[in-house]
Amino acid sequence: MGYGYAIGKLGRLNRISKNGKFLLLAMDQGIEHGPKDFNDKNIDPDWVIQWAVKGNFTGMILQKGVALKYWENYSGKVPLILKLNGKTDILPREEAYSAPLATVKDAVALGADAIGYTIYVGSQYEAQMFHDFSLIEAEARDYGIPTIIWAYPRGTMPKEEEKTLKYVGYAARVALELGADVVKVNYTGSKETFKEVVKYAQKTRVISAGGSTKSDEEFFAMAKDIMDAGACGFAIGRNVWQRDDPMPFIKRLRKIVWPEED
Protein backbone atom coordinates (compact mmCIF):
# COMPACT_ATOMS: atom_id res chain seq x y z
CA MET A 1 0.00 0.00 0.00
CA GLY A 2 1.44 3.33 -1.02
CA TYR A 3 1.87 6.31 1.27
CA GLY A 4 -1.04 8.16 -0.30
CA TYR A 5 -3.38 5.22 0.22
CA ALA A 6 -2.31 4.98 3.87
CA ILE A 7 -3.20 8.65 4.35
CA GLY A 8 -6.54 8.06 2.65
CA LYS A 9 -7.28 5.13 4.93
CA LEU A 10 -6.43 7.14 8.04
CA GLY A 11 -8.64 9.98 6.84
CA ARG A 12 -11.56 7.63 6.34
CA LEU A 13 -11.05 6.06 9.77
CA ASN A 14 -11.16 9.56 11.23
CA ARG A 15 -14.39 10.27 9.36
CA ILE A 16 -16.14 7.23 10.84
CA SER A 17 -14.93 7.99 14.37
CA LYS A 18 -14.65 10.90 16.78
CA ASN A 19 -11.66 11.17 19.09
CA GLY A 20 -10.91 7.54 18.26
CA LYS A 21 -14.38 6.34 19.26
CA PHE A 22 -17.07 4.85 17.01
CA LEU A 23 -20.84 5.04 17.18
CA LEU A 24 -22.27 3.27 14.13
CA LEU A 25 -25.95 2.77 13.38
CA ALA A 26 -26.64 -0.59 11.73
CA MET A 27 -29.50 -1.52 9.45
CA ASP A 28 -28.20 -4.73 7.87
CA GLN A 29 -30.72 -6.79 9.85
CA GLY A 30 -33.15 -7.07 6.93
CA ILE A 31 -31.07 -9.76 5.28
CA GLU A 32 -29.68 -11.24 8.50
CA HIS A 33 -32.97 -11.62 10.38
CA GLY A 34 -35.72 -11.05 7.82
CA PRO A 35 -38.64 -8.69 8.49
CA LYS A 36 -39.25 -9.85 12.08
CA ASP A 37 -37.23 -6.95 13.54
CA PHE A 38 -39.34 -4.28 11.83
CA ASN A 39 -42.66 -2.59 12.46
CA ASP A 40 -44.69 -0.35 10.14
CA LYS A 41 -42.43 2.61 10.95
CA ASN A 42 -38.87 1.27 11.04
CA ILE A 43 -39.29 -1.01 8.05
CA ASP A 44 -38.71 2.20 6.05
CA PRO A 45 -34.94 2.79 5.70
CA ASP A 46 -35.52 6.55 5.51
CA TRP A 47 -37.00 6.50 9.01
CA VAL A 48 -33.97 4.63 10.37
CA ILE A 49 -31.24 6.53 8.52
CA GLN A 50 -32.58 9.89 9.71
CA TRP A 51 -31.56 8.92 13.25
CA ALA A 52 -27.97 8.44 12.15
CA VAL A 53 -28.05 12.06 11.00
CA LYS A 54 -30.03 13.49 13.93
CA GLY A 55 -28.00 11.53 16.48
CA ASN A 56 -24.61 12.47 14.98
CA PHE A 57 -23.60 8.85 14.55
CA THR A 58 -20.13 8.41 13.11
CA GLY A 59 -21.39 6.01 10.45
CA MET A 60 -24.39 4.22 8.96
CA ILE A 61 -24.13 0.52 8.06
CA LEU A 62 -26.17 -0.67 5.08
CA GLN A 63 -26.30 -3.49 2.59
CA LYS A 64 -25.82 -2.61 -1.09
CA GLY A 65 -29.47 -2.74 -2.13
CA VAL A 66 -30.63 -0.30 0.54
CA ALA A 67 -27.68 2.00 -0.15
CA LEU A 68 -28.41 2.03 -3.88
CA LYS A 69 -32.05 2.97 -3.32
CA TYR A 70 -31.83 5.33 -0.34
CA TRP A 71 -28.33 6.73 0.20
CA GLU A 72 -28.61 9.55 -2.33
CA ASN A 73 -30.50 11.67 0.22
CA TYR A 74 -27.88 11.17 2.97
CA SER A 75 -24.53 11.29 1.22
CA GLY A 76 -22.38 13.90 2.94
CA LYS A 77 -24.61 13.98 6.03
CA VAL A 78 -23.25 10.85 7.72
CA PRO A 79 -20.48 8.44 6.62
CA LEU A 80 -21.51 5.18 4.96
CA ILE A 81 -20.14 1.75 5.88
CA LEU A 82 -21.14 -0.71 3.17
CA LYS A 83 -21.68 -4.30 4.30
CA LEU A 84 -20.20 -6.55 1.62
CA ASN A 85 -21.57 -9.94 2.62
CA GLY A 86 -24.56 -11.52 4.30
CA LYS A 87 -26.77 -14.54 4.85
CA THR A 88 -30.31 -15.27 5.94
CA ASP A 89 -31.42 -16.61 9.30
CA ILE A 90 -33.15 -19.54 7.60
CA LEU A 91 -30.13 -21.83 7.35
CA PRO A 92 -29.06 -23.81 10.45
CA ARG A 93 -26.37 -22.16 12.57
CA GLU A 94 -23.88 -24.94 11.86
CA GLU A 95 -24.13 -24.14 8.14
CA ALA A 96 -23.31 -20.45 8.61
CA TYR A 97 -21.66 -18.98 5.54
CA SER A 98 -21.90 -15.27 4.77
CA ALA A 99 -21.44 -14.95 1.02
CA PRO A 100 -19.96 -11.90 -0.78
CA LEU A 101 -22.79 -9.69 -2.07
CA ALA A 102 -20.92 -6.52 -3.04
CA THR A 103 -17.39 -5.39 -3.84
CA VAL A 104 -14.96 -2.74 -2.66
CA LYS A 105 -15.55 -1.06 -6.03
CA ASP A 106 -19.26 -0.85 -5.16
CA ALA A 107 -18.36 0.76 -1.84
CA VAL A 108 -16.13 3.33 -3.56
CA ALA A 109 -18.83 4.10 -6.14
CA LEU A 110 -21.36 4.71 -3.35
CA GLY A 111 -18.94 6.97 -1.48
CA ALA A 112 -18.51 4.64 1.48
CA ASP A 113 -15.79 5.44 4.02
CA ALA A 114 -15.41 1.82 5.18
CA ILE A 115 -16.56 -1.69 4.42
CA GLY A 116 -17.98 -4.32 6.74
CA TYR A 117 -17.60 -8.08 6.48
CA THR A 118 -18.95 -10.92 8.62
CA ILE A 119 -16.82 -13.97 9.39
CA TYR A 120 -18.23 -16.89 11.36
CA VAL A 121 -15.16 -18.11 13.20
CA GLY A 122 -15.31 -21.87 13.71
CA SER A 123 -17.90 -22.48 11.01
CA GLN A 124 -17.37 -25.39 8.64
CA TYR A 125 -17.07 -22.68 5.97
CA GLU A 126 -14.44 -20.71 7.87
CA ALA A 127 -11.72 -21.37 5.28
CA GLN A 128 -13.91 -20.05 2.45
CA MET A 129 -14.77 -16.91 4.41
CA PHE A 130 -11.10 -16.34 5.22
CA HIS A 131 -10.29 -16.62 1.52
CA ASP A 132 -13.15 -14.31 0.51
CA PHE A 133 -12.07 -11.68 3.00
CA SER A 134 -8.38 -11.91 2.03
CA LEU A 135 -9.27 -10.80 -1.49
CA ILE A 136 -11.52 -8.01 -0.23
CA GLU A 137 -8.98 -6.76 2.31
CA ALA A 138 -6.27 -6.59 -0.37
CA GLU A 139 -8.54 -4.57 -2.66
CA ALA A 140 -9.58 -2.32 0.23
CA ARG A 141 -5.92 -1.55 0.94
CA ASP A 142 -5.45 -0.60 -2.72
CA TYR A 143 -8.28 1.91 -2.38
CA GLY A 144 -7.34 3.08 1.13
CA ILE A 145 -10.66 1.81 2.54
CA PRO A 146 -10.80 0.68 6.21
CA THR A 147 -12.19 -2.78 6.97
CA ILE A 148 -14.50 -3.80 9.81
CA ILE A 149 -14.96 -7.50 10.57
CA TRP A 150 -18.10 -8.76 12.28
CA ALA A 151 -16.40 -11.67 14.11
CA TYR A 152 -18.98 -14.14 15.40
CA PRO A 153 -18.17 -17.64 16.67
CA ARG A 154 -20.21 -20.41 15.03
CA GLY A 155 -19.74 -24.12 14.69
CA THR A 156 -19.85 -27.17 16.90
CA MET A 157 -19.68 -25.26 20.20
CA PRO A 158 -22.98 -24.99 22.12
CA LYS A 159 -24.89 -21.80 21.29
CA GLU A 160 -24.63 -20.60 24.90
CA GLU A 161 -20.80 -20.62 24.62
CA GLU A 162 -20.62 -18.41 21.53
CA LYS A 163 -20.39 -15.26 23.67
CA THR A 164 -17.80 -16.54 26.13
CA LEU A 165 -14.24 -15.21 26.35
CA LYS A 166 -12.89 -18.46 24.94
CA TYR A 167 -14.60 -17.95 21.59
CA VAL A 168 -15.12 -14.17 21.40
CA GLY A 169 -11.47 -13.59 22.30
CA TYR A 170 -10.39 -16.05 19.62
CA ALA A 171 -12.62 -14.31 17.07
CA ALA A 172 -11.17 -10.91 17.96
CA ARG A 173 -7.65 -12.23 17.50
CA VAL A 174 -8.61 -13.72 14.12
CA ALA A 175 -9.71 -10.24 13.00
CA LEU A 176 -6.28 -8.85 13.87
CA GLU A 177 -4.51 -11.68 12.06
CA LEU A 178 -6.68 -11.16 8.95
CA GLY A 179 -5.80 -7.46 8.82
CA ALA A 180 -9.04 -5.81 9.95
CA ASP A 181 -8.86 -2.24 11.19
CA VAL A 182 -11.88 -2.68 13.47
CA VAL A 183 -13.59 -5.78 14.86
CA LYS A 184 -17.19 -5.96 16.01
CA VAL A 185 -17.82 -8.65 18.62
CA ASN A 186 -20.49 -9.60 21.10
CA TYR A 187 -20.16 -8.72 24.76
CA THR A 188 -18.74 -11.50 26.91
CA GLY A 189 -20.82 -10.70 29.99
CA SER A 190 -18.29 -8.94 32.22
CA LYS A 191 -15.86 -6.05 32.10
CA GLU A 192 -12.99 -8.32 33.14
CA THR A 193 -13.46 -10.81 30.31
CA PHE A 194 -14.04 -8.05 27.76
CA LYS A 195 -10.72 -6.47 28.75
CA GLU A 196 -9.14 -9.73 27.62
CA VAL A 197 -10.95 -9.52 24.28
CA VAL A 198 -9.55 -6.02 23.74
CA LYS A 199 -6.08 -7.27 24.67
CA TYR A 200 -6.29 -10.16 22.20
CA ALA A 201 -7.22 -7.76 19.38
CA GLN A 202 -4.21 -5.50 20.03
CA LYS A 203 -4.04 -2.81 17.28
CA THR A 204 -7.35 -3.86 15.76
CA ARG A 205 -9.91 -1.61 17.42
CA VAL A 206 -12.77 -3.35 19.23
CA ILE A 207 -16.39 -2.27 19.05
CA SER A 208 -19.36 -4.09 20.51
CA ALA A 209 -22.63 -5.21 19.04
CA GLY A 210 -25.78 -3.94 20.73
CA GLY A 211 -27.69 -7.19 20.38
CA SER A 212 -31.44 -7.53 20.78
CA THR A 213 -33.41 -4.79 22.52
CA LYS A 214 -32.71 -4.58 26.27
CA SER A 215 -34.07 -2.46 29.09
CA ASP A 216 -32.38 0.92 29.34
CA GLU A 217 -30.65 0.22 32.63
CA GLU A 218 -29.41 -3.19 31.49
CA PHE A 219 -28.08 -1.77 28.24
CA PHE A 220 -26.33 1.26 29.73
CA ALA A 221 -24.69 -0.78 32.49
CA MET A 222 -23.35 -3.08 29.78
CA ALA A 223 -22.25 -0.13 27.62
CA LYS A 224 -20.29 1.45 30.47
CA ASP A 225 -18.51 -1.83 31.22
CA ILE A 226 -17.65 -2.22 27.53
CA MET A 227 -16.10 1.24 27.32
CA ASP A 228 -14.32 0.83 30.68
CA ALA A 229 -12.81 -2.40 29.32
CA GLY A 230 -11.05 -0.41 26.59
CA ALA A 231 -13.42 -0.83 23.65
CA CYS A 232 -13.74 1.95 21.08
CA GLY A 233 -17.52 2.13 20.78
CA PHE A 234 -20.53 0.40 19.31
CA ALA A 235 -22.27 -0.75 16.15
CA ILE A 236 -25.87 -0.74 17.25
CA GLY A 237 -29.21 -1.12 15.52
CA ARG A 238 -32.34 -2.50 17.12
CA ASN A 239 -31.75 -0.88 20.50
CA VAL A 240 -32.02 2.45 18.67
CA TRP A 241 -34.57 2.14 15.88
CA GLN A 242 -37.01 -0.19 17.60
CA ARG A 243 -37.88 2.75 19.90
CA ASP A 244 -40.65 5.19 19.09
CA ASP A 245 -38.35 8.10 19.96
CA PRO A 246 -34.68 7.01 19.92
CA MET A 247 -33.18 10.42 20.73
CA PRO A 248 -33.12 10.20 24.57
CA PHE A 249 -31.44 6.79 24.27
CA ILE A 250 -28.92 8.11 21.72
CA LYS A 251 -27.99 11.09 23.90
CA ARG A 252 -27.42 8.89 26.92
CA LEU A 253 -25.28 6.47 24.93
CA ARG A 254 -23.21 9.32 23.51
CA LYS A 255 -22.37 10.41 27.08
CA ILE A 256 -20.94 6.96 27.75
CA VAL A 257 -18.90 6.89 24.55
CA TRP A 258 -17.82 10.54 24.80
CA PRO A 259 -18.13 11.60 28.47
CA GLU A 260 -16.32 14.83 27.60
CA GLU A 261 -19.28 16.06 25.53
CA ASP A 262 -21.29 18.93 26.99
Q: Give 130-139's long-range contacts (Cβ < 8 A, gap of 24+).
A: 130/178, 132/85, 132/99, 132/100, 133/178, 134/178, 136/84, 136/100, 136/103, 136/104, 137/178, 137/179, 137/180, 139/103, 139/104, 139/105
Q: Which is nearest to 188 in space by CA: 172, 174, 176?
A: 172
The residues, ordered by sequence, that sit 6+ positions from 20 with a Cβ below 8 Å of its Cβ are 205, 232
**Whether 125 is catalytic:** no
Name the active-site residue from 152, 167, 187, 200.
152
Distance CA(150)–CA(171), nearest Å, equals 9
Catalytic residue among 21, 64, 83, 184: 184
Q: Is 184 a catalytic residue?
A: yes
Q: Could you list the active site residues? A: 152, 184
